[in-house]
Structure 1
């Protein structure tokens, strides 16, 4: 039983390290001026303008976190913000042409990084990891509901 707990503790520690390293690799190999979360916001905006609240829900972030990321994207000219015509309290975010150009360039770099990260893993190993992570996410969601 103790060995089982130690294994799970080591797995949790390794998982945290993987997440931290992925963020580090992103900033080192992809783009030093655009965070992974900002990239995810731009990617979500490919479908057109979206309410900040909808972006937050889709990316599973708080509205405050999205607002902070949106501020940076607007500042860099990658997105623009505007208020709803029917309800001025509603804020929309829309990707600019510059943002689309940046998204395309970073998308290619991201593809290369992902390919490098999973080099040497078979399709079955990748599927096993997906099953593991999905089970872990399901456990987390259940804990969040308690």
Structure 2
């Protein structure tokens, strides 16, 4: 494969991702970014978690997660919970308000992705699905 073709694929993938983020910010008026929602989704899936574990799972730096956590706590979407056996350990846990926010974010995200993929024909969607499955297979 030509190097130029690989560059074009990567460039266009980045453009699609950036466009999705821009569109997300336009439709989701909660002063939260995608990373905030990913943290909340992690908490829904995994329950209360140590910030260092969340950072590692999501591929974020600890300072980035600290910044995201501050905003989530400030907006009452998450709270900090001190371990009952070791007060040095602090967990981040989701609130009911955080669960509702994540549900709304998922609904809006689904609408956004649906509108993106509706531009494709059925055959193009099948081809894209085949390509994504192939790229996500580790072997």
TM-score where L is the length of structure 1: 0.79
Partner of 2:21: 23
| Contact 1:30-1:110 within 8 A present in 2 as well | no
- Structure with the larger RCO, 1 or 2 (CA within 8 Å, 6+ apart): 2
Equivalent-residue separation in structure 1 for 2:88 and 2:134 (angstroms): 41
Of 36-45 and 108-117, more deviation after overlay is shown by 108-117
TM-score where L is the length of structure 2: 0.82
Equivalent-residue separation in structure 2 for 1:83 and 1:95 (angstroms): 14
Equivalent-residue separation in structure 2 for 1:94 and 1:56 (angstroms): 14
Alignment root-mean-square deviation, CA: 2.3
After superposition, where does 1:21-100 map in structure 2 within 5 Å? 21-47=19-45, 48-100=47-99
Structure 1 unmatched runs, 5+: 139-146
| Contact 1:50-1:92 within 8 A present in 2 as well | yes
Structure 2 unmatched runs, 5+: none
CA distances 1:4-50 after superposition (whole Å, capped 9, x unpaired)? 12111222221222221121111012335110010111111114211
Structure 2 residue matching 1:42: 3-state secondary structure: helix
| Contact 2:20-2:112 within 8 A present in 1 as well | no
| Contact 1:49-1:93 within 8 A present in 2 as well | yes
| Contact 1:31-1:106 within 8 A present in 2 as well | no
Relative distance call for 1:126 and 1:10 in structure 2 (3 A) is closer
Equivalent-residue separation in structure 2 for 1:106 and 1:45 (angstroms): 14
Partner of 1:128: 130
